Every structure is written in structure tokens, then in C-alpha cells.
Amino acid sequence: MISWFYIPPAQRPLFSVFVSALFVLALCCFCSLLFGAGGLSLQASFQTLLGNGSADTQFTVFHLRANRTLIGLFVGLTLGIAGALMQAVARNPLAEPGLLGVSAGSSLAVAITLVLGASTATLTVGVAQFGALLGCLCVLGVARMQGQQNDPIRLVLAGAALSSLLLAVTSLLLLFDQRAADEIRFWVTGSVAGRDTNTLFSVLPSMLIAIICILYTAKPLASLALGERVAIGLGHKPQRVRAVVIVAVALLVGGATAIAGPVAFIGLVVPFAARALVGPDIRRTLWLCLPLGPIIVISADVVSRLVAQPAEMPLGVLTAIIGAPVLLLIVRSRRMPTL
Amino acid sequence: MINQSLSLPNNEEITTAPNGHRLLSLGRHMTILIEKQAIIRNVWLLILLAIACVATLGIGTMPISPKEVIAVLFGHGNAMSQFIVQDLRLPRLLAALFTGAAFSLAGCLMQTMARNRLATPGIIGIDNAAMAFAVSSVVGMGISLAPSVMALAGAATATALAFGLAGGSGTRGYRFIVAGIGIGAIAGAVTQLLLSQVSIDVANSAYPWTVGSLSARDPMMVSILGIGLVICLVACLLFASQFALMPFSDQVIMGLGANIKYIRIVALILCITLTGLAVAVAGPVGLIALIGPEIARVLARYRGIPLISSALAGALVMILADLFGRTVLSPIELPVGIVTAVIGGPYLIWILVRRTSRTSL
């Protein structure tokens, strides 16, 4: 296992890295069931896991914590994959749904529905995905603006400008509606606690579409990494690939945002870690993003329960604290990797 | 209106001014190059600003005619309108005037320094950090300082952190910007964290700090901002000839004999001071820093760095936005930060989607 570190990332055996990541993920899920901010002691929750707990502890472990873990799994999965796709399509290691205003677009859409008085789960998911799509289209406009210099940071600046705009419009809406403001105050922080697992089922159909899109685009994206002309020469249609990827990203980010609220920086950290482990090829990176996203979200969630006992810290705060240094790390690396 | 000044040692005298410029000799040691266009432009902006000021003082729940307003300003008029104009509307007008000018000037400097028209103090996280600090003082995290002082401290902290983390100014100061974006994200998250931990009443009282508003501002901070603005404006004019080099590439600037690090640090310090003081008065009204300089650049036809015009245009936009927010939904008052966001939004999208052939700025 130690010998991995001597192999260049791109040559590491994908299968064994993937399996060990799965092992770590299982460990994280176990911890997530075991630790909590409430009064339940570590021993009691362990006993409950073994099958001899009271009704109360069983409710806490198998209902509250298990749901939470499940949602963390889903959110990590979708945001990690969305980040990897977005970075591949923008050919920019800093492209991240949260930084580029995609999450902000989808939270604006959710705020609009909340103000209009809707609260059905299915509607929220669809609306969030639509908002994410609009955010993505704005990003496409930005990507065009990149122009001659092809400067990765222009994109991030434009994304920051866009999300600050969308957030301002969201707060304008909330100014007129006290009820929605109170409701959304907890939602905009991004958290996996106390969310409705039923929403997960309403997201599933759109996730299926997203998976089909990803399967269709993985190979063209890998050749797009070699440059637009090479991709055309290999028989791919870059414009169409981009459009399909944008739809997939919108579905994924919209789904995650509808369930957990905007969780920033996951889409930046996960592909970064995946690239460090198995190299820049998108087909390998995507495989590794599958376990890495949930690992990061669930472990961040566990930490967020433990640091501020007996209260909890919102997940979004913690991911921002993890993600911002990674952002710096990417920018500070001597040569910014062009994707 | 020394918009593009160029000070030269007296042994290199320029005898004829370039087309469209005039030379102004200040004593024997200094000659200032003045662009005629700039003077005309700024005089127009000043006239518009004066009209907007009179309108703002006059319009409200209790309308006062422009004539009466001017009379009151010169110390005449009846007691009622004197009270309304001088005690109620004038402080707010001054707050709008100063914050608009300060934000816009800071934006112009930052955009020049980063060679990017989207780089504003708000986007690189100074606003967010100031907001987080102010909110923490409102929701009472065991800190008894006034929110405005905390906002100033937040702005300074964010910039210091960004500067430290960026490790030197890096190529084109870009690391600094990205570090700022990261710090802004953390500060935003912390603000959300604070707001989600307290009751809805406390969250509401912190609300003006999260959107930017001009109602009932601290008069002390307004006067401090006014003094700071004047000092920074003078400093900007002294360094105007150096800032004018910034659009060129680093090699060219060095070739011309200027110290690029020094220029950047001066611009940065001016930027933080202006933003910090302005946020301490009005909260984050960041989009002014995007709109004001852009108007000035359009008026200047993208020549040079229109510092004074930026300040004037920013003040004008701020006053109009506040007037709009006060009057349009009359019993409800829209915070000025939201008005500028809604005005600036479509404009921002236009910048993003159009195909630009113009280079950096």
C-alpha cells in the first residue's frame, strides 16, 4: 500500500485505489451512525448497532442518523461528480458549481417557490434543477468570455460576481416574506441534518437521466481534454458534448441543492483529491469521485456534530472551511494545471 | 479635475501639450497635464450630482420644493422644512454620497490593479468579512463593540489574510484575488452560521448589515468616512500618474522605471481603507464598485483611469438608488444594497455574455 506513493498517479491501479476508498467510505458511514451531538453515548450507540438497544436509541441511530448518512451519501456523490464534469468541460481546475453560481441559481429558484407558498418536495426538486440549469447557462456565457487569454481565474471571478448577484435577488425576495425568510435561513446554510428522505425518491428519475448523460460523455470528455481540435479529429462533437454535460451538471447540482441546500466547495475538493490519487484522466477521476464525495461530506458532517456539542455546526460552514484552503492550494501550485 | 496628471521633474520640461490636453505649471518644479475632456466630463457629473442631491432632499413623504430646499441649505426657509432637510435627509444624503464615492473609487483601483473589470472589493471577500464581523457583534458573540467598528476590523482582517495567504502579490495579483474569494466564502458561511443560531428577532436586527442599507447610520462613522475619502482621493491623485501605468504588462511598467510592487501596495491600502470605512457606514453595497467605474470608463471612452469620474459616478448612482428604494414602495423601504443589486444585475449579465474584443478592462 505504501508503494502507491512511489507510482505516478496516472499509473496507479484504479481498482485497488477504488476499493480502498470504498473501505474508507464504509468506515465513515459507520462513524456517522456511531457519533452524534445528542445525549446518546458512544457505547449505547454501539450496542444499538449490535442490535440490543431500546426503542429510543434505535430511533436515533437507525432513523435520524441513518437518514442523515444516506443524504450525505447522495449529496457527496452528486456534487463530487458534478464538480469533476464541470472542471472537465470548462478545462479549468477552479470550476465548481458553488463558486460559479450554479448553486446560487438553484437556491434562488427554491426561494421563489418558497415565497410563492409551495412546499411540495417534487416541485422543489424540479425548480432547483431548472435554476441550476439557468446558472449553468450563465456560466457558459462566462466561459465564452474567457476569450483569448484563457485565464482560469476570470471564470471564477465571473462566477463570484454572478453568485453575489443571485444571492442579492434572493434576499430581496425574502425581504417581503417573513415566513419564507425564517424557513430559508436554515436551508441556505447547507446541511444534511433533518432533511426529508422522501425527497430522495423524487430525485431518482432525474439522476437516472444524469447517469445516462455521463456514460455518453465520459469518453468524448477525455478526448476533449486534449483540445478541441483533437476531439473533433477523433470524431466527437464538442458543442453537443458540452450541452449534454451542462444538462447533467444541472440535474445533479439541482438535486443536491433541493435536498441539502447549497453546500459549497465539495465540487472543488473532490475532483482535486481524485486527480491527486489517480491522475487527470476523466474516466479514472469520475470512478474515484464516486466514493470520495460521500467520504468528504459524511466525515465533514460527523465533525460538524462533534465540534460544537451539544449544538451542531452547519455542514456548509465546515465545507467552506475545508474548501477555501484547497482553493488556495490549487492557485498557489507553481503551474496551474490546465485540464 | 487633475484626471490624468503627470508630474515631471523640471529639467525635462515639456513645452507643448499633446492634442486635447493643457499644461498647468505649479511653481517651478511641477507641471500637470490636464485632459480637457476630463474636465468637461467631471463638470457635467458634478452638475448631475447637484441636481440629484437637491431632488433627494426634496422628495419624500413630505415633499419640499427645490426652491425651498436651496433656501434651507443657505440657512433660510421655515423651521419645519429646516428640520426635515437638515436633520433627517441631509445626514442620509451625506452617507449615500460618501459611501457611493468610496465604494466606486475602491472598485476603480481594484479593477485597475487586477486588470479585470469584474474585480471589486465585494467580490474578493472584503464586504463579506466586514459583514460577518458586524453580524457577530449584532448577534452578540460576547463582543460589545459597535457593528461599524467591527466591520472595519473585518475588512482589514480579510485583506490581511488574503495578502498573507497569497504569499506576495504573485503574477498579476491573481492569487490575492482567489485567496480573497476563498476568505469571502468562509466569511459568508460564518455569517449564515451566526444567523442560524439566534432567534428570528435578533436575525432581523442583523439584517441591514447583510444587505447594505443607509437608514439610521452612525453619524460618527459618516464623518470619519468623509475625512478618509478626502485623504484617499488626494492620495489617488498624487499617484494617478503611477496608476496610469497599470494597464500595461509588468515588463513594460518595469521598463518605464516604476516600482510595480510599491504601486500595487499603495493601491491596495487605499482600496481597503475606502471599502472598510464605507462598509462600516452602509454595509455591503458591493455592486456600486462595479457600476460606478464602468460608467466612468464609458464616459471617458476607455482612455486612462478615470478616478475622479468614478467617485462622482458612484456617488450619483448611490444617491439615485437610495432615492429609488425610499420612494418606490413608499411605506416599505428597500435597502439600498438590494436596489443596486437589482439595477446592477442585468448590467453584470450583459458584461458576462457579450463578446468583448476590448482587451483587459
> What tens digit of pLDDT does each residue of B120-140 get?
777 777 888 888 888 887 776
Q: With cut-offs at 50, 70 and 90, classify the pLDDT of residue B8.
A: very low
- Comparing CA positions, the residue from A3, A52, A192, A184 lying closest to residue A106 is A184
Contact assignment for A314 to B344 by CB distance below 8 Å: no
**Which residues from chain B sit within 8 angstroms of residue A311, using beta carbons?**
197
A44 class by beta-carbon count within 10 Å (0-12 exposed, 13-18 middle, 19+ buried): middle
For residues A269 and B252, give the distance between their C-alpha atoms in angstroms, rounded to a whole number.
38
**Which residues from chain B sit within 8 angstroms of residue A332, using beta carbons?**
166-167, 175
Residue A44 in any domain: the answer is no
Residue A281 in any domain: the answer is yes
Show the cell assigned to A2.
505504501
Contact assignment for A165 to B353 by CB distance below 8 Å: no
Contact assignment for A154 to B349 by CB distance below 8 Å: no
Contact assignment for B118 to A154 by CB distance below 8 Å: yes
For residues A62 and A285, give the distance between their C-alpha atoms in angstroms, rounded to a whole number.
32
For residues B305 and A219, give the distance between their C-alpha atoms in angstroms, rounded to a whole number.
48
**Which residues from chain B sit within 8 angstroms of residue A266, using beta carbons?**
none
Residue of A nearest to B165 (CA): A328
Contact assignment for A160 to B123 by CB distance below 8 Å: yes
Contact assignment for A323 to B185 by CB distance below 8 Å: yes
Q: With cut-offs at 50, 70 and 90, classify the pLDDT of residue B98.
A: very high
Q: For the segment B35-94, what is each residue's pLDDT rounded down to a tens digit?
A: 777 788 888 888 998 888 888 888 877 777 777 778 777 877 787 777 877 777 888 888
- Comparing CA positions, the residue from B345, B349, B291, B346 lying closest to residue B318 is B291
- Comparing CA positions, the residue from B135, B112, B131, B134 lying closest to residue B122 is B131
Residue of B nearest to A186 (CA): B196
Tell me the DSSP string of B228-295: HHHHHHHHHHHTHHHHTTTTS-HHHHHHTT--HHHHHHHHHHHHHHHHHHHHHHH---TTHHHHHHHH
Residue type, B160: A
Contact assignment for B118 to A158 by CB distance below 8 Å: yes
Average pLDDT over residues A185-211: 77
Average pLDDT over residues A189-195: 71
Q: With cut-offs at 50, 70 and 90, classify the pLDDT of residue B352.
A: low
Residue of A nearest to B190 (CA): A317
The structural domains of chain B, ordered by start, are 21-353 (1.10.3470.10)
Contact assignment for B344 to A175 by CB distance below 8 Å: no
Show the cell assigned to B110.
481594484
Q: How far is C-alpha A328 from the geometric centre of its chain's CA atoms?
A: 19
Query: What is the model's pLDDT at position B174?
Result: 66
HSE on the CB side for A99, CA within 13 Å? 38
Q: For the segment A4-13, what is each residue's pLDDT rounded down to a tens digit?
A: 667 777 778 8
**Which residues from chain A sit within 8 angstroms of residue B197, using beta carbons?**
311
The answer to whether residue A39 scores a pLDDT higher than 80 is no
The answer to whether residue A37 scores a pLDDT higher than 50 is yes
**Which of B103, B118, B172, B207 to mutate to test binding with chain A, by most A CBs within 10 Å of its CB?**
B118
- Comparing CA positions, the residue from A212, A230, A249, A220 lying closest to residue A100 is A249
**Which residues from chain A sit within 8 angstroms of residue B203, using beta carbons?**
185
Contact assignment for A162 to B352 by CB distance below 8 Å: yes
- Residue written as grid cell 491600502: B269
* DSSP state letter for A62: I
CATH code at A102?
1.10.3470.10
Contact assignment for A317 to B165 by CB distance below 8 Å: no
For residues A58 and A65, give the distance between their C-alpha atoms in angstroms, rounded to a whole number.
10
Contact assignment for A161 to B200 by CB distance below 8 Å: no
Residue type, A37: A
Query: What is the model's pLDDT at position A81?
Result: 92
* DSSP state letter for B18: P
Query: What is the model's pLDDT at position B17?
Result: 65
Query: What is the model's pLDDT at position A144?
Result: 61
Q: What ipTM was estimated for this complex?
A: 0.70
Residue A219 in any domain: the answer is yes
Average pLDDT over residues A200-217: 86
The answer to whether residue B11 scores a pLDDT higher than 50 is no
Q: Measure B205 CA to nearest chain A CA, in Å.
A: 13
Under 8 Å CB pairs connecting chains A and B tally to: 135
Contact assignment for B174 to A331 by CB distance below 8 Å: yes
Write down the mean pLDDT value for chain B: 77
Average pLDDT over residues A221-241: 84
Neighbours of B249 (CB within 10 A): 11
Residue A13 in any domain: the answer is no
Domain that holds residue A160: 69-192+199-332
The answer to whether residue B264 scores a pLDDT higher than 60 is yes
Q: Which residues are CB-neighbours of B354 under 8 A, at least 6 positions away? A: none
Cross-chain CB nearest to B348 (options A165, A320, A328): A165
Q: Measure A314 CA to nearest chain B CA, in Å.
A: 7
Average pLDDT over residues B9-19: 56
For residues B115 and B243, give the distance between their C-alpha atoms in angstroms, rounded to a whole number.
11
A101-119 burial: b if 16+ Cβ within 10 Å, else e:
bbbbbbbbbbbbbbbeeee
Q: How far is CA A166 from CA A105, A310, B97, B181, B314, in A?
A: 6, 34, 26, 16, 22
Helix (H), strand (E) at residue B151: helix B147-166
Average pLDDT over residues B95-114: 88
What is the domain count for chain A?
1
- Comparing CA positions, the residue from A3, A1, A5, A2 lying closest to residue A276 is A5
Do A296 and A78 contact (CB within 8 A), yes or no? Answer: no
**Which of A328, A333, A335 to mutate to test binding with chain B, by most B CBs within 10 Å of its CB?**
A328
